[in-house]
């Protein structure tokens, strides 16, 4: 009497499932093993933040591992909400002009302060676009806060929202 092998088709199917599972596992590891991305592509640089100087808040940069603290602003008004440009060469932030809050930009190494907005209402929460050609921020129209964009040198202001509700903390993504 001849022996028959009933396990052949079953073993082949099990082998195919194991091989397919291994291929899927390798693909997941390769996809998930890529390095983390920063806010903007490129080498990581210093961290910009608002810090209290004993009188008010100012804008500073510091190395990611600590040390190398550099004050970028030093005035009698509060400066806050710093955000780097895509090139890492400029920092946009909100600060008081003595009457209300406005948007300013400054060199990441300090100096070259430029007032971007200039009006009689509060502007804050700035963030550069990935191209660096626009800044988005929250701005008051006297009744509520709306999301706006403006060119980094000022001008070209555009209301993104206008809905009678407070719209705050915009952050520009990439597509």
For residues 67 and 10, the model is more confident at: 67
Is residue 107 in a domain?
Answer: yes
In this prediction, residue 25 has a pLDDT band, given cuts at 50, 70 and 90, of: very low
Domain hosting 149: range is 47-159
Q: Is residue 3 part of a domain?
A: no
Percentage of the residues of the chain whose pLDDT score is greater than 90: 70
Q: Is residue 8 part of a domain?
A: no
- What band does 5 get if pLDDT is binned at 50, 70 and 90? low
Domain-embedded: residue 134: yes
Does the residue 30 lie in any domain?
no
Q: Does residue 66 or residue 42 have the better pLDDT?
A: 66
Q: How confident is the model at residue 29 (pLDDT cuts 50, 70, 90)?
A: very low
Q: pLDDT higher for 121 or 35?
A: 121
pLDDT digits (tens, 9 = 90+) for 99-128: 999 999 999 999 999 999 999 999 999 999
R_g (Cα) of the chain, nearest Å: 26
CATH value at residue 81: 2.120.10.30
Q: Distance between CA 33 and CA 15 in Å, rounded? A: 27
pLDDT at 173 over 70: yes
Note whether residue 132 is domain-resident: yes
Task: Assess if residue 136 is contained within a domain.
Answer: yes
pLDDT higher than 60, residue 11: no
Share the mean pLDDT of the chain: 85
Query: Alpha helices of the chain — where are they, by DSSP H?
Result: 7-32
Domain annotation covers residue 34: no
Give, as one character, the DSSP assignment of residue 33: T
Number of domain units in the chain: 1
C-alpha distances out from residue 145 to 8, 95, 121, 170, 173, Å: 71, 17, 10, 11, 21
Give residue 44's pLDDT. Answer: 74
């Amino acid at each position: 009497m001849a022996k028959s092998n009933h396990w052949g088709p079953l073993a082949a199917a099990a082998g195919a499932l194991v091989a397919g599972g291994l291929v899927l596992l390798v693909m997941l590891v390769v996809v998930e093993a890529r390095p983390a991305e920063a806010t903007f592509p490129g080498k990581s640089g210093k961290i910009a933040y608002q810090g209290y100087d004993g009188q008010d808040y100012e804008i500073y940069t510091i190395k990611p591992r600590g040390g190398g603290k550099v004050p970028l602003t030093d005035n009698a008004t509060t400066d806050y909400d710093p955000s780097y440009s895509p090139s890492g060469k400029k920092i946009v932030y909100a600060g008081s002009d003595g009457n209300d809050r406005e948007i300013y930009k400054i060199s990441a190494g300090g100096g070259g302060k430029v007032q971007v907005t200039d009006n009689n209402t509060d502007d804050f929460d700035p963030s550069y676009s990935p191209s660096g050609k626009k800044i988005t921020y929250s701005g008051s129209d006297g009744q509520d806060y709306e999301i706006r964009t403006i060119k980094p040198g000022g001008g070209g202001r555009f209301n993104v929202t206008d809905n009678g509700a407070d719209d705050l903390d915009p952050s520009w993504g990439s597509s």
